[in-house]
Amino acid sequence: MKQQYIVYYNSNSSSTNYLCFGRQDAIVLNNPIDFQQLQYFVDQYKGQFICAYLSYDFKNSIEKLTSSNTDNLNFPEVVFFVPQTVVELTENRMQYIQGEDSFESRAFVDEFLNTVNSENSKKTFNFRPRISREAYISSVNQLKQHIQRGDIYEINFCQEFYDDKAVIDNPLSVYATVNQITQAPFSVYFHYDEWFAFCGSPERFIQRKGTKISSQPIKGTAPRGKNEQEDLALKNALQNNPKERSENVMIVDLVRNDLSKIATNGSVKVDELFGVYSFNTVHQLISTISCEVETSTSFIDILKATFPMGSMTGAPKVSAMKLSEQAESFKRSLYSGTIGYILPNGDFDFNVVIRTLLYNSDKNYLSCGVGGAITIKSDAAMEYDECETKVRKLLDAFR
């Protein structure tokens, strides 16, 4: 795989996937973000497929916020690029929607897909927690004091597992292992220069189809059972757990408020509340909120209203982001940001970067962030255990 610019959007289903490679043009930005410049890039390449990511710290240009925690990954805050070649893949069809159908491009596609579908990484990594269990519990209890005082009523608190001596000779095989474990609907392999994301995300941040905007926040997690009977019991317990439902509805309200900033009058609605969805490693409580927007509503208008996603911040959003920055021990970087694409017709789809390994090949630094929602009812030790549930299988695959 000699390409330096590759993105694979993998739904792990019979619906459409996209394999993008090569680079026509790109925009790479850091704080402070020039929104006009970014919107100009999107407008300039209307009619073409655009690959994109926004790191969590894109928030600092939307709100008056800062990030001063240690950044070991050094990902740019924004990367948008127009790939030379885009192949649309469905169960029975491969179609070039951008670029040339050539012998070389077909050979690349075949090699890429064969690796993803058949190869697992033999690498082992020495993942270590950035903070101890005791420090995590102490931080959660301090955050609960803020909730008790009324500063916030929910906050997403994150921690990092890392290996700072990770040498990866075959990054795609690492993604293949992550994908085999997660089999997630918003899975992505992202490679731009020295930066890699091996993403097994189950969560959609925001989607545009015509004038309809949809968001599907996740709040509420339960492990998979050892057998069908136990699995069903865990699903039912999640669906009816008052704490998990409370967490979920708080973020639903936040997303409704975000969408109302751009929605046509009276169009914000909750399409599904407390849906239980099962993935390879966990059950999740997912709600769907949507609205209609005017055709003139721009990509940047929508981002400014909705980013970062409420499921990764807490509420009220700005207060929660300030407190999580103080409490956390690492810079989130692309973790809890978003990776997605803009179609030639202007529609787009972006995920939430969770269940993801991030890698800087120049620094040999590999990172896995994980977090959870803290409310007044949270038990700090149980929250730590929930974080373990979310990433245990992912980390264990490389031990």
Residues 6+ apart with CB under 8 A from 376: 144, 147, 148, 153
Average pLDDT on 128-135 reads: 97
The pLDDT tens digits for 168-195 are 999 999 999 999 999 999 999 999 999 9
Q: Give me the active site residues, please.
A: 203, 219
- CA pair distance 274, 248, nearest whole angstrom: 7
Residue 317, classed as helix, strand or coil, is helix
Confidence band, pLDDT 50/70/90 cuts, at residue 120: confident
Break the chain into its structural domains and give their ranges.
5-396
Give the relative orientation of helices 380-396 and 171-182 as an angle to the nearest 10 degrees.
Answer: 130
pLDDT attached to residue 182: 94
Q: DSSP letter for 329, please.
A: S
pLDDT attached to residue 3: 77
Q: What share of the chain in percent tops pLDDT 90?
A: 96
pTM, two decimals, is 0.96
Closest CA to 374 of 149, 236, 219, 241: 219
C-alpha 139: how far from chain center: 24
Instruction: Return the sign of the alpha-carbon dihedral for residues 42, 196, 223, 308.
Output: negative
pLDDT attached to residue 1: 52
Instruction: Return the sign of the alpha-carbon dihedral for residues 83, 216, 354, 62.
Output: positive
pLDDT attached to residue 121: 86
CA distances (Å), origin 337, targets 1, 136, 340: 26, 22, 10
C-alpha 37: how far from chain center: 24
CATH architecture of 5-396: 4-Layer Sandwich (3.60)
- Backbone torsions φ then ψ of 95, nearest 5 degrees: -135, 135
